[in-house]
Structure 1
Amino acid sequence: MDRGGGHLSPEPMDAYTAPVQPRPAPDQSSRPNRRLRSDLKRDRWLYLLALPGILFFIVFKYFPMYGLVIAFENYSPFKGIIRSEWVGFAHFERFFSNPDFLLLLRNTMAINFMKLFLFFPLPILLAILLNELRSDKYKKLIQTVVYLPHFLSWVLICGLTYLLFATGDGFVNKVLAELGADKWVVLTNPKLFWIMITSQSIWKEAGWGTIIFLAAIAGVNTQLYEAATIDGAGRLRRMWHVTLPAIRTVIVILLILRIGEIMDVGFEQVFLMSNGAVSEVADVFDTYVYRVGVQQGQFSFTAAVGLFKSIVGLTLVLLSNWLAKRFGEEGVY
């Protein structure tokens, strides 16, 4: 108030400030999309390189899963998958009650367990021994020799086996006859069939299996070997205390994947080496599916057999991966 003028003066007012409008929150859903586009743009050549493999799995692994529904139908090629009669678990019940089920399970598990305990450790041992070679020249030569059988087909390998061990005119039996020794009955001896199949797999794939382990050994810190040498450790102790612990994670991962294939023996090898004399020990799930599904046309029944194998394999992978993590390993995922 103005005391001299006798009139009121307005009170001083603060400067007017407009209310601040809240900034719109960023669209959270757009962040993953922007990140995906950024990753695709940055690594476009890597994704392009992986595209054939991705397409392979989509076309030949995931898309055919739609056909698994015929395991629950009486599938007819004329009616198609959609119009075929639905029978539920009838084919599974028939398979599990079939007298051949236990025989197939025994043969399949026996061959795979022999491969697991005899074949699986050999690439590890061979990779460690190759790593200990001082001469790069001999190392490359031996690697080439042990890799070559992998590129031979099972038809050729089985043919070589017949040429070597045929009872009448096989090379081995001819040599034994010249020496006056008894002939070896290998191809028609049921007691030797599982060993013969395992031996063929070892000869064909043991060298090729060393590639992953050699790559893992190449990544081991050389200072660990130097420290072990200073402490007085010899070659065997360095292999046991340095090399094996360093590649243990790779060994566990490959072991888990191998356990997942415990129901797959391999059709070609067993089919080519089978004959009437060894049928009791040579009939496995793969040959049974071919005989019943392809030759007899029971597609739904053999689809149920294949689905059973897949479920068992998946269960074993999940179980073994869980056990690996319980023991402190990384596992597959």
Structure 2
Amino acid sequence: MTDTLTDRREIAESGQRGPTRFDRRSRLEMTLRRIGHGWQLYLMLLLPVVYIIIFQYWPMYGVQIAFRNYNVVQGITGSPWVGFDNFTRFIESYQFWPVIRNTVVLQAYELVATFPLPIVLALALNYVRVRWFQRTVQMVTYAPHFISTVVIVGMLFVLLDPRIGMVNNLLGLFGISPTDFMGDPGLFRHIYVWSGVWQSLGFSAIIYLAALAGIDPELHEAAIVDGATKLKRIWHIDLPGIAPIAVILLILNIGSILSIGFEKVLLMQNNLNLSSSEVIDTYVYKVGLASDVPLFSYAAAIGLFRSVVGLVLLIAANQLARRFAKSSLW
């Protein structure tokens, strides 16, 4: 009886004192009831949440290696604390600027080449009315996405071989001397980027095709009635319709500007093109794992430095997109 009177008094005074114990209990009961009705969905959500906790958040415990002089015998907590010495060592090293420059230039080149082309391909396919031709082009363009990186690099070495490569044989027919494409530092970035365009172009266009499919057909019908050409419909209807998706993908790409595809760069790398192919990921691998004396703390510091810079770029790109494009991640 006392509890009931207390609850009634709290309800009467809730307008003056804000949420009461009764309100909080009601909300909790409502939340539990909602979870009970959709327990299957929460059960499905449990596995990815556990995955994220184990493989994304728990490894953050090891980030402190970057601030220690880590050795395997003493372990993470037993290794001596050195603060920012590993970061200072990397910034002051002779490899800092060449590695940063190679990473930024290669990623920026890849971004400029790979960002607009899927949009162009999606717009072109969207206006193709011959269905068998549209499906054939789609299949031909996104099939390379399913070829592994190792196979792609193997194909490049075979095609561009100075002695038996198809490209050099064709150039020889025109009297052009053989070129060591894979050993030329000036050609490394072009080969890396445009082979990536060939591999990912069609698959990346699928996202924009899905966005184009969500545009109201009545907008195109009204534009056709008003006499708008295809180019005007693309400019005034299609591009604004896919702009939010494009902005989000651009923000994500800018945030990962220091994260180059490690496998492909490492497979294409050799002593001849090292001056333009040594990026942060390959440098971390070499000093952290491939060297005779692995420098775990030094490699961890470089990796953390890259992640922090990527986070800053992601936040900055998101703020600029929110201000100028009126679309953002958050």
Relative to the length of structure 1, the TM-score reads 0.89
Greater helix fraction, Structure 1 or Structure 2: 2
Calculate percent identity across the aligned residue pairs: 40
Q: Deviations over 1:222-255 (max 9, x none)?
A: 1111111112111111111110001111111111
In terms of mean alpha carbon deviation, does 171-180 or 83-92 score higher? 171-180
C-alpha distance 122-48 of structure 1, shift in aligned 2 (>3 A): farther
Give how far 1:35 is off: 4.3
C-alpha distance 216-43 of structure 1, shift in aligned 2 (>3 A): farther
- Cα distance in 2 for partners of 1:205, 1:76 equals 41
1:202 to 197, 201, 225: 197
Equivalence for 2:310: 313
Is 2:157 aligned against 1:162?
Answer: yes
Following superposition of structure 1 onto structure 2, how do residues 312-331 of structure 1 map, counting pairs within 5 Å?
312-331=309-328
Is 2:98 aligned against 1:103?
Answer: yes
Q: What SS class does the counterpart of residue 309 from structure 1 fall into?
A: helix
C-alpha distance 203-43 of structure 1, shift in aligned 2 (>3 A): farther
Relative to the length of structure 2, the TM-score reads 0.90
Is 2:230 aligned against 1:241?
Answer: no
- Cα distance in 2 for partners of 1:51, 1:133 equals 43
- Cα distance in 1 for partners of 2:250, 2:83 equals 35
- Cα distance in 2 for partners of 1:93, 1:280 equals 23
In terms of mean alpha carbon deviation, does 154-163 or 196-205 score higher? 196-205
- Cα distance in 2 for partners of 1:136, 1:50 equals 38
Is 2:212 aligned against 1:217?
Answer: yes
C-alpha distance 42-208 of structure 1, shift in aligned 2 (>3 A): farther
Equivalence for 2:17: none
Equivalence for 1:11: none
Give how far 1:31 is off: 4.4
- Cα distance in 1 for partners of 2:325, 2:112 equals 23
Q: What residue ranges of structure 1 are gaps of 5+ in the alignment?
A: 1-19
Q: Deviations over 1:199-233 (max 9, x none)?
A: 12111111111121111111101111111111211
Following superposition of structure 1 onto structure 2, how do residues 144-183 of structure 1 map, counting pairs within 5 Å?
144-183=139-178
1:127 to 119, 122, 125: 122
C-alpha distance 142-45 of structure 1, shift in aligned 2 (>3 A): farther
Give how far 1:174 is off: 2.0
Q: What residue ranges of structure 2 are gaps of 5+ in the alignment?
A: 11-20
Equivalence for 2:296: 299
In terms of mean alpha carbon deviation, does 142-151 or 214-223 score higher? 142-151
In terms of mean alpha carbon deviation, does 278-287 or 47-56 score higher? 47-56
1:252 to 232, 247, 255: 247
Equivalence for 2:227: 232
- Cα distance in 2 for partners of 1:305, 1:31 equals 50
C-alpha distance 328-210 of structure 1, shift in aligned 2 (>3 A): closer
The letter of the residue matching 1:284 is V
Is 2:247 aligned against 1:276?
Answer: no
Would you say how many aligned residue pairs link Structure 1 and Structure 2? Answer: 314
The letter of the residue matching 1:330 is S
- Cα distance in 1 for partners of 2:247, 2:33 equals 35
Q: Deviations over 1:178-200 (max 9, x none)?
A: 45433233111111111111112
Q: What SS class does the counterpart of residue 259 from structure 1 fall into?
A: helix
- Cα distance in 1 for partners of 2:324, 2:209 equals 25
The letter of the residue matching 1:322 is Q
- Cα distance in 2 for partners of 1:205, 1:124 equals 12
